[in-house]
Amino acid sequence: KFIRLGAKVPKGALLVGPPGTGKTLLAKAVAGESDCPFFSMSGSDFIEMFVGVGPSRVRDLFAQARANTPCIIFIDEIDAVGRKRGGGFSGGNDERESTLNQLLVEMDGFSASTGIIVLAGTNRADILDEALTRPGRFDRMITIDLPDIDEREEIFMVHTRPLKLALPQEEISARMAVLSPGFSGAQIANVCNEAAIVAARRDRKDVGLKEFEEAMDRVIAGLEKSSSPFTQEEKKIIAYHEAGHAVSGWFLKHADPLLKVTVIPRTGGTLGFAQYLPKELSLFNVDQLIDRMCMTLGGRVSELIFFNHLSTGASNDLENVTQLAYSQVKIYGMSAKVGHVSFPPKQGYAEQMKNPYSESLARTIDEEAKIIIENAFEKTMKLLREKKHEIELVAERLLKVETISHDDIVELLGPRPYQTEQYKKYILKSQVLENRYGTDDVEEIEKIAAEKAAEKSSSSDASTDSIKEAEIDSTSKDESSSVESAETDTENEESNEDKKDSKSDNDLTDSKDSK
């Protein structure tokens, strides 16, 4: 019907999204649903050390596709071969550019590609050559974002299906969807697998919420270290550092709400970490960026307030704050002095060597970024001095139990004063288990669920026994009634025989009398 109306079938579609969101899986699903041949290659498969191998493989791929039309070609990680051309110093770029040129010819050159749909996947669409992404080659750009809370719940439903669970699948999926903001589909699959591994190592008969939450911590920050290498004083510094993050994020309007904070060291290099509920959409204004910087600086400021010295534990925080400050000045055009300009980071060594602005402007950018960081630092210092008692409450609880959840934070600091729609949705979903089982403690929930399952099993057994007893009673009644019926029949037969004999005797007597 498209051809009848004069429309042309799109030649290709570019699947764009972060790693692990299911771009390759979607391409395979399209091939399966369309019931046609599917040719799959990775972008790196075209690149070899020998000159001419890449273009030759492109020609061979499309030749096979033409012989099997209609069909689908999928090129995964196309940025390996489709990167922007020009400006390179290494000879390897010539081979890559030749491969890209051949791909462009095959998709929109003199050779007809009727009946061939080309799909490609990448997480770096910004570095692809414009000639590759123009209409006529890749006509569609399909964005596959990270799943939101409802989509994560559905993905957990898929990956928990083969597992033997301690709680109903719907309850575990809803709970884990709440605790996994920003997770991709691949990370969710990894969490489910890790939870099953943890349960198997503990010789458990099923996988419970505790195993799922431990698996999530492993995916986020690595394995928990078996023995803590820190002294009591160092533990105290870490606890107050993480408490500073927690309190600043709790009372800043545009900061991400806190989900969990822990001071347990991990093999990923973290001395402790805080998990937040990030925004589903990455659109920020100046106030939101400043509050994110303040939340990140909260740990360092807390150390200054309570110990009057700084430690090296905040190096990653400073790196993130510096990046946010320079992004406001250089990329987002949020500095009055620098103006409404944008200098995005360059890709490739050659491009990085070219500075698009003068040394004078570079000094201005440095000064503006420094001012932004200092203002954020002062704002954080003012807030945490006012909330000094709250920091002490959180830090003391951390020193006592090492890990505190969102519910613990609410108990210590009260309800969060600023609540977005996303945060309200999180609260509703997180209260599902508590409303059903009357507690938010994981071990208590599993204990109650096990008791309910045992009661259900015993009631089912009792029901089965009563059914069997009823069947036995019915059978015995049938047998009794059949016996009684048989006896009645026998008595009736005997009565009939007696009547026959009596009649025969009477007939004989009458016969004699007549004679």
What's the CA gap between 413 and 410, in Å, rounded?
5
| pLDDT tens, the chain, 515 aa long | 777 887 777 778 899 988 889 888 888 888 888 888 888 888 888 777 667 778 888 888 888 888 888 888 899 888 888 888 765 544 446 777 888 888 888 887 544 457 788 899 998 888 888 888 888 788 888 999 888 888 999 999 999 999 998 888 888 898 888 888 888 999 999 999 999 999 999 999 989 888 998 898 888 877 777 666 778 888 899 899 999 999 998 999 888 888 888 888 777 667 777 888 877 666 788 999 999 999 999 999 999 999 988 888 778 889 999 999 999 999 998 988 888 888 877 655 455 556 777 888 889 999 999 999 999 999 999 999 999 999 999 999 999 888 888 888 888 988 888 877 777 777 777 666 666 766 656 667 667 777 776 777 666 655 665 665 656 665 555 555 554 555 555 555 555 555 445 544 545 444 444 43
pLDDT at 463: 60
Give just the sign of the alpha carbon dihedral 118, 121, 125, 129: negative
Q: Give 298-301 contacts, CB < 8 A, sequence gap 24+.
A: 298/244, 298/245, 298/246, 298/247, 298/248, 298/249, 298/380, 298/384, 299/241, 299/242, 299/244, 299/245, 300/241, 300/244, 301/244, 301/248, 301/377, 301/380, 301/381, 301/384
Terminal-to-terminal C-alpha distance of the chain: 113
pLDDT at 477: 55
pLDDT at 442: 63
Q: How many CB atoms lie within 10 A of CB 42?
A: 16
Supply the pTM of this predicted model.
0.73
Q: Which residues, other chains included, contact 44 with Cβ-Cβ below 8 Å and sequence gap of 6+?
A: 77, 80, 81
Cα separation values, 236 from 14, 303, 304, 380, 396, Å:
50, 10, 13, 20, 9
pLDDT at 515: 38
Cα separation values, 165 from 143, 162, 211, Å:
34, 9, 10
What's the CA gap between 49 and 293, in Å, rounded?
46
Half-sphere exposure at residue 304, Cβ-oriented, CA atoms within 13 angstroms: 13
Out of 106, 242, 303, 368, the active site residue is 242
Q: Is 455 a catalytic residue?
A: no
Give just the sign of the alpha carbon dihedral 32, 33, 37, 40: negative
Domains plus CATH for the chain? 2-143 (3.40.50.300), 149-221 (1.10.8.60), 232-344+357-437 (1.20.58.760)
